[in-house]
Amino acid sequence: MEHTELTPKEEIFARIDRLKERMAAGGVDFCVILQNVDMFYLTGTVQKGALVIPLGGDPIFFVEKSVERALAETPLAVTPIKSDREMRDILRRENALKGTGAMELDVVPVSVFERFKSIVGFDAFRSATPLIKALREIKSPFEIDQIRKSGEIMRHVFAKARDVIREGARELDIDAELVAEGRRHGHQGFLRMRGLNLEMTTITVSNGSTGALPSPSDVPVGGLGVTPAIPMGSSFKKVEKGIPICIDYGGGYSGYVTDETRVFVIGGLDEAFGRPYETSKQIIEDAAAYGKEGVDAVELFERAAALARKAGLEANFMGFGEGKVSFVGHGLGLEINELPVITPKHHTTLREGMVFAFEPKFVLPDKGSIGIEVDFIVRKDRLERVTDIPLDIVYL
């Protein structure tokens, strides 16, 4: 089978060992992994099944289907099963479930949770999510490499945007061309978010009024979309001269996502957007100069908010009115809403290997939105850009 890349054996086993360290520290005797992203992180494959990790033994990777694909993609031993009963019998025989268990209680439906408890006859479970989120917060050199390759897809897409943006084109026309460009360069096809009702399009093209709409999702600029059934993303609106065209695009390579926004304009920029754009750029440059390992993430938010206030744009920063959001940055990895989050409340000390998107944006009611989003890797002495895509407005 031909893939982008498989996760190396040593990477998988190192992750499991680090999870076990956190399990021991947290008083957890075994973990049950059911969610696709966590399963991929800890096995290197996504299959119908379950991963059970006993603190004192080897992981047991149950696969109902596809066993063939699992064997080709994971370095772990695969235990084929055809029914829940087989899983129950093996777990009992191995005496793998004893003490305190943990499951991903933020994403596992109650019905699945109850079914698993009935399968194994065990109900002493707590949430494994804090352990897993903390584990995934720091990216390994292998993961950083995957993220950079995801960023390379973004570079091709933003370069292509110059060729497809034209006056009168619909946001959807631009969207379609750029999604195709990303796929030609190996984009995985969609992005993942963690949580109930959290959904994400690969790209949002907004221009004028569609960039000023409040979104039901926790994003400052979500777009109009084409139907109330999916109230986000690019729309049928035609782009106009002088009004910023904001392209928010998410790269995706081997599961790893990146997320950046750039601004394009046909002709000269409407003067109402000049100060917000310059402030967005100033906020990013300030964060790049100040951020590094050891800095509290709250400081990055406070510095950004202070620059917005100084520019007289506090009311427009990260949304307007009911559309305001409470963050200016979010972690990246296998999901687009990982840790750390850059907010005024989440005190997180930045550590080397963290990766996050930083997106100071401004929404002008009835006019539109403008802003830049860049991805940073935390290093000991700096914040390192994932891509080298210029921040400047592209005039067409």
**Amino acid symbol at 207:** N
| Same domain flag for 193 and 341 | yes
Q: Check pLDDT > 60 for residue 1.
A: no
Q: Considering all CA atoms of the chain, what is the largest pairwise distance in Å, rounded to the nearest integer?
A: 72
Residue from 219, 266, 205, 249 nearest 387 by CA? 249
The least confident of 32-46, 82-96, 136-150, 338-352 is 82-96
Residue that terminates a domain, selected from 135, 162, 197: 135
Residue 23 lies in a domain: yes
Its sign, for the CA torsion 30, 33, 37, 39, is: positive
Question: C-alpha angle 92/93/97, rounded to 5°?
Answer: 40
Domain match, 124 and 162 both: no
**Which of 109-113, 148-152, 168-172, 370-374 is predicted with the least confidence, judged by mean pLDDT?**
109-113
Sort residue 108 into left (φ over 0), alpha (ψ -120 to 50) or beta. Answer: beta
Q: Quick check: is 4 in a domain?
A: no
Domain end, chosen from 112, 135, 158, is at 135
Please report, to the nearest 10 degrees, the dihedral formed by the alpha carbons of residues 311, 375, 333, 7 taken in order.
180
Tell me the CATH number at 367: 3.90.230.10
Instruction: Check residue 331 and give its pLDDT.
Output: 98
- Tell me the per-residue pLDDT of 155-184, one tens digit each, with 9 for 90 and over: 999 999 999 999 999 999 999 999 999 999
Q: How far apart are CA 344 and CA 179, in angstroms?
A: 34
Does any domain span residue 2?
no
> How far is 158 from 247, CA to CA, in rounded Å?
8
Do 161 and 126 reside in the same domain of the chain?
no
Looking at residue 163, its amino acid is D
Residue pair 324/305 in contact by the 8 Å Cβ criterion: no
pLDDT digits (tens, 9 = 90+) for 238-256: 999 999 999 999 999 999 9
Query: Per-residue confidence at 3, pLDDT binned at 50, 70, 90?
Result: low
Mean pLDDT score, 102-125: 86
pLDDT, tens digit, 9 for 90 and up, residues 49-68: 999 999 989 999 999 999 99
Cβ partners under 8 Å of residue 313, min gap 6: 275, 276, 279, 362
Q: Which residues contact 366 (CB under 8 A, 6 or more apart)?
A: 209, 212
Domain boundary residue among 98, 115, 135? 135
Residue with tokens 């360290």: 21
Tell me the one-letter amino acid at 12: I
Show the tokens assigned to 80: 């084929």
**384-393 residue pLDDT tens:** 999 999 999 9
pLDDT at 99: 86
Give yes or no for residue 2 having a pLDDT over 70: no
Report the mean per-residue pLDDT for the chain: 94
pLDDT band at 84; cut points 50, 70, 90: confident
pLDDT in the model for residue 201: 92
* Domain around 176: 138-395
Q: How confident is the model at residue 125, as a pLDDT?
A: 87
Asked whether residue 46 falls in the same domain as residue 122, the answer is yes
pTM for the whole thing?
0.95
Cα–Cα distance for residue pair 133/333, rounded to 1 Å: 11
Mean pLDDT of 131-155: 97
* Pair 162, 272 in one domain: yes
